[in-house]
């Protein structure tokens, strides 16, 4: 796992598949996504130099983002937060709906699955449920943005006082050239396109994606330029 400082309060945690972010308010840390199962101890050890993880906010239920949440919570006592539509999946009460793949996405997904660790999902004992429009107590007030399409309960997190936007997998950056793009492996592409457009309208200087390098300057403009190139199929 690589740890990269993006801003004095913001660090990127990069895993073999996907990535998470640490936001710091004094000694209190918020983890946005938690990496795959088995990554919790490394996340907590890396966070130790910065503070203590108080909460884990999951942008969606997929294993590369939520798999380590239970372990982090068990090690730190952190609260785990997810959208009300995702929480039953994170707790293991119901299965999550599978993506509707574009043909070109299938080999990408197969490669990602091969690189994920085996051994199951670290389920958190408790999950605090949130909805779009809720404001979480970090980063000067982090607004929850419901962004369905990648999954039903996917969320973004907007920190307007700092110009930071966490998009989860609703938006990504190309591994080839860093181009901002619609996230892949969606359950509903048309909803995903609409959510991309809503996220792009937010005021953001820094955009943090679930996959691909963050945009650390002029993020709003980059997202809007990309979002305009997508149209729904319906």
Cα(53)–Cα(88) distance, integer angstroms: 23
Give yes or no for residue 58 having a pLDDT over 90: yes
* CA distances to 43, 50, 59, 72 from 126, in Å: 19, 25, 16, 12
Q: What is the pLDDT of residue 118?
A: 72
Neighbours of 223 (CB within 10 A): 23
Reported as a pLDDT band with limits 50, 70 and 90, residue 188 is: very high
Reported as a pLDDT band with limits 50, 70 and 90, residue 117 is: confident
Backbone φ and ψ for 167, nearest 5 degrees, come out as -100, -5
Cα(167)–Cα(11) distance, integer angstroms: 15
Expressed in percent and rounded to 5, the helix, strand and coil fractions of the chain are: 25, 30, 50
> What's the rounded mean pLDDT across residues 64-74?
96
Buried-state track 150-172, b at ≥16 Cβ within 10 A, e below 16: bbbbbbbbbbeebbbbbbbbbbb
Give yes or no for residue 229 having a pLDDT over 90: yes
**Proportion of the chain above pLDDT 70, given as a percent:** 99
């Amino acid at each position: 796992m690589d740890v990269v400082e993006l801003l004095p309060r913001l660090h990127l945690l990069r895993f073999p598949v996907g990535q998470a972010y640490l936001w710091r308010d004094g000694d209190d840390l918020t983890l946005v996504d938690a990496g795959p199962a088995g990554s919790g101890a490394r996340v907590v050890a890396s966070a130790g130099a910065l503070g203590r993880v108080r909460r884990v906010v999951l942008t969606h239920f997929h294993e590369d983002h939520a798999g380590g949440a239970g372990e982090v919570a068990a090690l730190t006592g952190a609260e785990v937060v997810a959208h009300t539509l995702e929480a039953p999946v994170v707790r293991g009460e119901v299965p999550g709906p599978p993506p509707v793949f574009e043909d070109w996405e299938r080999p990408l997904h197969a490669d990602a699955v091969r690189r994920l660790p085996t051994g199951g999902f670290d389920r958190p004992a408790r999950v605090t449920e949130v909805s779009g429009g809720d404001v979480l107590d970090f980063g000067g007030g982090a607004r929850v943005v419901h962004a369905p399409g990648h999954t039903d309960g996917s969320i973004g997190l907007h920190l307007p006082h700092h110009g930071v936007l966490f998009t989860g997998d609703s938006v990504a950056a190309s591994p080839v050239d860093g181009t901002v793009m619609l996230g892949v492996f969606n359950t509903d592409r048309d909803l995903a396109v609409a959510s991309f457009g809503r996220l792009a309208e937010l005021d953001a200087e820094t955009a943090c994606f679930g996959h691909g390098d963050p945009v650390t300057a002029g993020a709003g403009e980059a997202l809007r330029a990309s979002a305009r190139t997508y149209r729904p199929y319906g």
